[in-house]
Amino acid sequence: MILPIDNLSQIPTPFYYYNMELLNATLQSVKQEAGQYGYKVHYAVKANANDRILEAIRAAGFGADCVSGNEVQKALDAGFSNKGVVFAGVGKADWEINLGLDNDIACFNVESIPELEIINELAEAKGKVAKVAFRINPNVNANTHHYITTGLEENKFGINQWDLENVFDVLAKLNNVELEGIHFHIGSQITDLQSFKDLCIRVNEIQKWLISRHIYPKVINVGGGLGIDYEHPDENPMPDFKSFFKLFHELLDLKPDQELHFELGRSIVGQCGTLISRVLYVKNGVNTKFAIVDAGMSDLIRPALYQAYHRIENISSTKAEEKYDVVGPICESSDCFGKAVTLPQTDRGDLIAIRSTGAYGEIMANRYNLRELPLAYYSDLI
């Protein structure tokens, strides 16, 4: 990606810069590859709920996968149709369930029997029937960072397979919930497609079990999780959506009239975002040089929280290369974006780009140290 340095250098740092052309190209690629099989994609709003990003995704015809009442409201305010809104989450509060009921959203992804009973009770009070999908924990290893793996029995998410019999018994006794589908999500930043193959095998087994009990869910939702190339954002600005959707087409045993749904977040918005910051000081440590930048873990928490790698570039220097620890101004040792990063010789005032920050970047920003939240700028408006 060629960053418009002259324009960016006029803007006070730190800020997020979004490449809208890349976002739109990514959306077209997902539409094309999922569309040919008739698959529906709900964008995982948690990855980035920036207004302009949501607007582009809505305009491209995607649904919205939400995990809080405020996300449901945001998706509706952004113009997503209520029939394209699904609501997941292990701990939905009553007001959040009521909000979903009042807006007749497409589906509640239910994670436990007590939750199912409460949705039934709240729907009954409104004289409504809520559509639900059971989030089943498939016990499939996503082979990703342990903080973002969700589909193992030891994780808090979903209904374990040994509890399924029970769940369907309870469902049969409730009048104000109706089975729409079954739902899975095994984790995030999954780059080894083998994990998705394992998921398909498990879903097929579960389908057989359901059919043996005369249960025919209309929707199979396999969640999100497709990873992006954080190492080579320019070489691979878009994930290989073709292979991803083809895998499900080849391996998942869909019944006639059954719909396959996805909840992609990172793979849609990850590469279009860049965090731009400025070097405040360069200081010599014992073994290393520190490039102290004006963005911190309050703007982008992924490196501090998950030891996540983001490519770091000095976009205003072409001098000989040296190694730097690129750190932020926050009073925490974990406020470090990268250690021993090779950069052209870096000086005060240089612009530093932290790449692939469109997903779980701006949305996870916080005001630690009472810092301001980062602003956002867009390639088509600067």
Does 264 interact with ligand LLP (rule: CB under 6 A)? yes
Instruction: Give me the least distance between CB of 27 and ligand LLP, in Å please.
Output: 14
CA atoms of 122 and 334, how far apart (whole Å): 44
Does 224 interact with ligand LLP (rule: CB under 6 A)? yes
Query: Which of 189, 271, 226, 227 shows the shortest CA–CA distance to 25?
Result: 271
Q: Identify the helix (H) or strand (E) that includes residue 180.
A: strand 177-183
Closest to ligand LLP by CB, 14 vs 358, is 358
Query: Which of 54, 47, 53, 102 shows the shortest CA–CA distance to 74?
Result: 54
Does 265 interact with ligand LLP (rule: CB under 6 A)? yes
Residue with the two structure tokens 């995607």: 62
Does 152 interact with ligand LLP (rule: CB under 6 A)? no
DSSP SS3 for 104: coil
Closest to ligand LLP by CB, 291 vs 295, is 295
C-alpha distances (whole Å) from 157 to each of 116, 138, 183, 186, 305 are 14, 10, 11, 9, 20
Q: Identify the helix (H) or strand (E) that includes residue 102.
A: helix 94-102
Does 198 interact with ligand LLP (rule: CB under 6 A)? no
Closest to ligand LLP by CB, 335 vs 350, is 335
Instruction: Give me the least distance between CB of 271 and ligand LLP, in Å please.
Output: 12
Does 33 interact with ligand LLP (rule: CB under 6 A)? no
DSSP string of 303-331, one letter each residue: HHHH-----EEESS--S-EEEEEEE-SSS
Q: Which of residues 70-129 bind ligand LLP (CB under 6 A)?
A: 88
Closest to ligand LLP by CB, 14 vs 223, is 223
Does 47 interact with ligand LLP (rule: CB under 6 A)? yes
Instruction: Give me the least distance between CB of 69 and ligand LLP, in Å please.
Output: 16
Segment lying near ligand LLP (by CB under 6 A), choices 120-128, 184-192, 243-251, 340-348: 184-192
Does 363 interact with ligand LLP (rule: CB under 6 A)? no
Closest to ligand LLP by CB, 186 vs 276, is 186
Closest to ligand LLP by CB, 149 vs 346, is 149
Does 223 interact with ligand LLP (rule: CB under 6 A)? yes
Segment lying near ligand LLP (by CB under 6 A), choices 69-77, 160-168, 259-267, 285-293: 259-267
Instruction: Give me the least distance between CB of 300 and ligand LLP, in Å please.
Output: 10
DSSP letter (8 states) at residue 162: G
Segment lying near ligand LLP (by CB under 6 A), choices 4-12, 183-191, 201-209, 344-352: 183-191
CA atoms of 242 and 262, how far apart (whole Å): 14
Instruction: Give me the least distance between CB of 121 and ligand LLP, in Å please.
Output: 24
Does 237 interact with ligand LLP (rule: CB under 6 A)? no
The answer to whether 226 touches 19, Cβ cutoff 8 Å, is no
Q: Identify the helix (H) or strand (E) that includes residue 70.
A: helix 69-77
Instruction: Provide the b/e sequence for 254-273 (b: ≥16 CB within 10 Å).
Output: beeeeebbbbbbbbbbbbbb
DSSP string of 2-16, one letter each residue: ---HHHHTTSPSSEE
Positions that interact with ligand LLP (CB under 6 A): 44, 47, 65, 88, 148, 150, 185, 188-189, 223-226, 263-267, 302, 306, 359-360
